[in-house]
Structure 1
Amino acid sequence: MICDVCKSREAVVYQPHTGRRLCKECFIDDIRQRVKKEAEKQGLLKANKILLAVSGGKDSLTLADTLASFIDPKRLVAFNIVEGISGYNRKEQAEKLRKYLDDLGIELISTSFKDSVGYTLDEMVSSARAKGLNISACTFCGGFRRKLINDAGRQVKADLVATGHNLDDEAQTVIVNILRGDVKRLVRLGDVPLKLSDKFVLRVKPLRKIYEWETTMYAFLKGFEFQEVECPYISARPTLRAKVRELLYLIEQQKPGSLLRIVEEFDKISELVRQHSPKEELPTCKICGEPTSYGREICKNCELMIQSGLLPQKYLRIS
């Protein structure tokens, strides 16, 4: 089959949501143009310094490669976190990531949960289980990853932090928060970033309109070797997000373009809700001094550490 765009090269990719068959070159250009359109909307083209949260997976490699195609790599700094999960995110994968970023001209800085928090993710989960707590690894991981990424953004004086969340991630987040009735979190979603604390570096998602299968194909066609193993904690204990993901995949299979429509329609609703919602400054945690949710004196991270017995006894009086 011939490419539907250039009409000259052999097609290698079929896009179900557009019905087009694309050659390698036209597919890569399509992804880059869509990322650039979203990046322009989110203010990345005007930013002096952008921190890229990278893991070495297909999404973060696609994020770095697409942004470097239209933004000077000297304005990009990549940040990698080693969570400390046995058999996952290994040292050799981090070295491959560094090599790819070096080739793009992007500086890489890194840390680990062990160095920055004092415990690996495995140790956090183990301590929580020893106390009989039913806390998922994802709860620990998500909170501390966000904290360390924000810390790194402030450290390098970044105007924006860009993450590799793709369209599948974004659609899942919308549905999960609707199911939980978390209106305040829903207001913070959308295509234009919303800043609710001076201590936060604005986070943006340039890949939020790119399907996960597209980031996989992009990385494959570019010749990237990326981590394909799913986090063992997700496999061992499926979360609500994992269940929503499977449901959305069934819907997308039956009606291609459904995930894209969910996100695009939600963006319209989010904008309307924001116009009529108070944008109060987030309160700060009494323990770590970082922003926390409305109505909370202690942030979720510190609360988890206290419950798991991983913070000193003196903090128990505050909680």
Structure 2
Amino acid sequence: MICDRCGVREAELLQSHSGKRLCKECFLSDVQERVEIEAKRLNLLRASKVLIAVSGGKDSLVLADTLAKVIDPKRIIAFNIVEGIQGYNREGQVRELNGYLRDLGIELISTSFKGSLGFSLDEMVRSSGERGLKIAACTFCGGFRRKLINQAGRDVNADLVATGHNLDDEVQTIIINLLRGDVKRIMRFGESPLKLSDRFVMRVKPLRRIYEWETTMYAYIKGFKFQEVECPYISMKPTMRAKVRELMYELEAKSPGFLLRILDNFDEMGDSAKKESRLGNLPVCKICGEPTSFGRDYCKNCELLMAAGLMEQRETRVK
């Protein structure tokens, strides 16, 4: 079977959502071109400085590789966070990541939950469990990762922060928030999310129309060495996201392009809702000074630390 794009090389991949059979070279070019289109739409090419969040996983490596082809790598700063998960975060992975980014000409800066917050993710989960709280590790991890990424974006004076969320991630988030009835949170996502505070650096997702299987194949074809082991917290206790993911895969298999259609419809509804939105600037947390939700004195992150008894431990250490 000949590649539908170049008409010369042997096709090795079937792009189900488009129906095209592609050779490896044309598949890579297709992904790169779609990322470039999204990057232009998100004004990434005009930014003087872009912070990219990199974990060392396939998505962040594909993000760095594709953006470095359309943006001067000197205008990109990569940011890595070590959450502190035993057997999952390894120093060797950070070294490999640093070497790869250095070859691309991208600077890497790093931090850790332990160094920035005073506690590793394992310590947060353990402390909350000792208090009989049923707080998922993902609740701690997601909130604090977003906080540290935003802080890093401010620290380096980035115009935009780019994350490696792919199409599957985006649609999972949409469905989860719909199931929870969280309309306000839905409005914060999308192609052009609302910016409700001057302390927020606008976040963009150049891979949001690239399937996860495509980022995986891109990484394998390019020969990237990336962490393939799933976070042990997800394996130990499957989250709503994991359950939604399985349902999504079934629907996509039955109707190729389903995920793209969901995203496109959501973007249209989100744009309409944002035009009618009259939300003002978010208030700030009385403890950390970061933005929090309307009607709340403390941000979710500080509330989690207080509930787990970690805020008291941190104050005792300072004294």
TM (normalized to structure 1)?
0.97
**Partner residue, 1:19:** 19
**Partner residue, 1:125:** 125
* 1:294 shift after superposition: 1.6
**Partner residue, 1:202:** 202
Partner SS state of residue 312, structure 1: helix
**For structure 1, which runs of at least 5 residues remain unmatched after alignment?**
none
Do the aligned partners of 1:42 and 1:193 also contact (CA within 8 Å) in 2?
Answer: no
**2:270 equivalent to 1:298:** no
**Partner residue, 1:89:** 89
Equivalent positions of 1:1-319 (< 5 A) are 1-312=1-312
TM (normalized to structure 2)?
0.97
* 1:166 shift after superposition: 0.2
Q: Quick one: which amino acid aligns to residue 95 of structure 1? A: R
Partner SS state of residue 259, structure 1: helix
Do the aligned partners of 1:3 and 1:22 also contact (CA within 8 Å) in 2?
Answer: yes
Partner SS state of residue 81, structure 2: strand
**For structure 2, which runs of at least 5 residues remain unmatched after alignment?**
none
CA distance in 1, matches of 2:89, 2:27: 29
CA distance in 2, matches of 1:31, 1:258: 18
CA distance in 2, matches of 1:98, 1:152: 17
Q: Quick one: which amino acid aligns to residue 298 of structure 2? A: I
1:215-268 Cα offsets, whole Å, 9 max, x none, are 000011111011000000011111111111111111011111101110011000
Measured at CA, do residues 33 and 171 of structure 1 come closer, stay the same or move farther in structure 2, by a change above 3 Å? Answer: same
CA distance in 2, matches of 1:17, 1:313: 51
Q: Quick one: which amino acid aligns to residue 71 of structure 2? A: I
State percent identity of aligned pairs.
67
CA distance in 2, matches of 1:7, 1:228: 33
Do the aligned partners of 2:187 and 2:193 also contact (CA within 8 Å) in 1?
Answer: no
CA distance in 2, matches of 1:305, 1:39: 36
Measured at CA, do residues 196 and 7 of structure 1 come closer, stay the same or move farther in structure 2, by a change above 3 Å? Answer: same
* 1:12 shift after superposition: 1.8
CA distance in 1, matches of 2:250, 2:123: 36
Indicate the RMSD between aligned Cα atoms, in angstroms.
Answer: 1.1
* 1:121 shift after superposition: 0.2
* 1:314 shift after superposition: 11
Do the aligned partners of 1:287 and 1:302 also contact (CA within 8 Å) in 2?
Answer: yes
Partner SS state of residue 110, structure 2: strand
CA distance in 2, matches of 1:236, 1:313: 27
Measured at CA, do residues 227 and 314 of structure 1 come closer, stay the same or move farther in structure 2, by a change above 3 Å? Answer: closer
Matched pairs, number = 315
1:33-81 Cα offsets, whole Å, 9 max, x none, are 1111111111101100000000000000000000001110000000000
Q: Quick one: which amino acid aligns to residue 85 of structure 1? A: I
1:75-97 Cα offsets, whole Å, 9 max, x none, are 00000000000110211111111
CA distance in 1, matches of 2:226, 2:7: 31
* 1:287 shift after superposition: 0.6
Query: Which runs of structure 1 show a deviation greater than 6 angstroms over 4 or more consecutive aligned residues?
Result: none
* 1:132 shift after superposition: 0.4
